Protein backbone atom coordinates (compact mmCIF):
# COMPACT_ATOMS: atom_id res chain seq x y z
CA UNK A 1 0.00 0.00 0.00
CA UNK A 2 2.87 2.36 0.62
CA UNK A 3 3.86 2.08 -3.05
CA UNK A 4 0.41 3.29 -4.16
CA UNK A 5 0.57 6.15 -1.69
CA UNK A 6 3.95 7.22 -3.06
CA UNK A 7 2.66 7.06 -6.63
CA UNK A 8 -0.44 9.02 -5.66
CA UNK A 9 1.66 11.67 -3.91
CA UNK A 10 4.00 11.87 -6.91
CA UNK A 11 1.05 12.28 -9.32
CA UNK A 12 -0.36 15.05 -7.17
CA UNK A 13 3.02 16.83 -7.29
CA UNK A 14 3.32 16.50 -11.08
CA UNK A 15 -0.26 17.24 -12.15
CA UNK A 16 -0.15 20.95 -11.18
CA UNK A 17 2.96 21.82 -13.23
CA UNK A 18 1.75 19.70 -16.16
CA UNK A 19 -1.62 21.46 -16.24
CA UNK A 20 0.06 24.86 -15.84
CA UNK A 21 2.47 24.08 -18.68
CA UNK A 22 -0.39 22.89 -20.89
CA UNK A 23 -2.30 26.10 -20.17
CA UNK A 24 0.73 28.23 -21.04
CA UNK A 25 1.35 26.28 -24.26
CA UNK A 26 -2.32 26.56 -25.24
CA UNK A 27 -2.34 30.32 -24.61
CA UNK A 28 0.95 30.86 -26.45
CA UNK A 29 -0.23 28.84 -29.46
CA UNK A 30 -3.43 30.85 -29.79
CA UNK A 31 -1.58 34.12 -29.24
CA UNK A 32 0.44 33.32 -32.36
CA UNK A 33 -1.85 31.15 -34.52
CA UNK A 34 -5.35 32.11 -33.41
CA UNK A 35 -7.95 34.27 -35.16
CA UNK A 36 -6.65 37.31 -33.28
CA UNK A 37 -3.04 36.17 -32.99
CA UNK A 38 0.17 37.67 -34.29
CA UNK A 39 0.00 36.04 -37.71
CA UNK A 40 -3.56 37.28 -38.24
CA UNK A 41 -2.44 40.76 -37.14
CA UNK A 42 0.40 40.75 -39.66
CA UNK A 43 -1.94 39.62 -42.44
CA UNK A 44 -4.46 42.34 -41.57
CA UNK A 45 -1.69 44.95 -41.51
CA UNK A 46 -0.58 43.86 -44.99
CA UNK A 47 -4.18 43.99 -46.27
CA UNK A 48 -4.56 47.45 -44.76
CA UNK A 49 -1.44 48.69 -46.58
CA UNK A 50 -2.73 47.24 -49.88
CA UNK A 51 -6.13 48.84 -49.33
CA UNK A 52 -4.40 52.16 -48.70
CA UNK A 53 -2.56 51.88 -52.01
CA UNK A 54 -5.79 51.07 -53.83
CA UNK A 55 -7.49 54.00 -52.09
CA UNK A 56 -4.73 56.35 -53.24
CA UNK A 57 -5.01 55.16 -56.85
CA UNK A 58 -8.80 55.51 -56.78
CA UNK A 59 -8.57 58.95 -55.18
CA UNK A 60 -6.25 60.10 -57.97
CA UNK A 61 -8.61 58.71 -60.62
CA UNK A 62 -11.57 60.35 -58.90
CA UNK A 63 -9.76 63.70 -58.81
CA UNK A 64 -8.99 63.35 -62.52
CA UNK A 65 -12.62 62.56 -63.31
CA UNK A 66 -13.81 65.44 -61.14
CA UNK A 67 -11.46 67.81 -62.96
CA UNK A 68 -12.68 66.59 -66.35
CA UNK A 69 -16.30 66.95 -65.24
CA UNK A 70 -15.56 70.48 -64.00
CA UNK A 71 -14.11 71.34 -67.41
CA UNK A 72 -17.32 70.12 -69.05
CA UNK A 73 -19.51 72.27 -66.81
CA UNK A 74 -22.09 74.05 -68.99
CA UNK A 75 -21.60 77.35 -67.11
CA UNK A 76 -17.90 77.55 -67.95
CA UNK A 77 -17.04 75.01 -70.62
CA UNK A 78 -13.47 74.50 -71.76
CA UNK A 79 -13.39 74.59 -75.55
CA UNK A 80 -10.53 72.11 -75.83
CA UNK A 81 -12.32 69.62 -73.59
CA UNK A 82 -15.53 70.05 -75.56
CA UNK A 83 -13.69 69.53 -78.83
CA UNK A 84 -11.94 66.44 -77.48
CA UNK A 85 -15.16 64.88 -76.16
CA UNK A 86 -17.18 65.57 -79.33
CA UNK A 87 -14.48 64.09 -81.55
CA UNK A 88 -14.22 61.06 -79.28
CA UNK A 89 -17.96 60.49 -78.90
CA UNK A 90 -18.81 61.06 -82.57
CA UNK A 91 -15.67 59.52 -84.02
CA UNK A 92 -14.77 62.66 -86.00
CA UNK A 93 -11.31 63.87 -86.83
CA UNK A 94 -9.83 66.56 -89.01
CA UNK A 95 -7.68 65.42 -91.96
CA UNK A 96 -4.68 67.25 -90.46
CA UNK A 97 -5.09 65.60 -87.01
CA UNK A 98 -2.49 63.18 -85.78
CA UNK A 99 -4.23 60.41 -83.87
CA UNK A 100 -2.35 58.52 -81.20
CA UNK A 101 -4.17 55.46 -79.86
CA UNK A 102 -3.19 54.61 -76.33
CA UNK A 103 -4.21 51.25 -74.86
CA UNK A 104 -5.30 50.88 -71.28
CA UNK A 105 -2.46 50.40 -68.86
CA UNK A 106 -2.50 47.81 -66.06
CA UNK A 107 -3.11 50.49 -63.42
CA UNK A 108 -5.93 52.35 -65.05
- Tens-place pLDDT, residues 41-67: 999 999 999 999 999 999 999 999 888
Q: What is the pTM of this model?
A: 0.50
- The number of helices, as runs of H, and strands, as runs of E, in the chain is 3, 0
Q: Does residue 82 contact residue 72 with C-beta atoms inside 8 Å?
A: yes
Segment 17-28 mean pLDDT: 92
Cα 11 to its chain centre, rounded Å, is: 52
Amino acid sequence: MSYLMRVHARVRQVIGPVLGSALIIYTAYHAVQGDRGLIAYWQLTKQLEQAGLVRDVLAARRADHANRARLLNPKSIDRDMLDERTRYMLGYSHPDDIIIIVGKSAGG
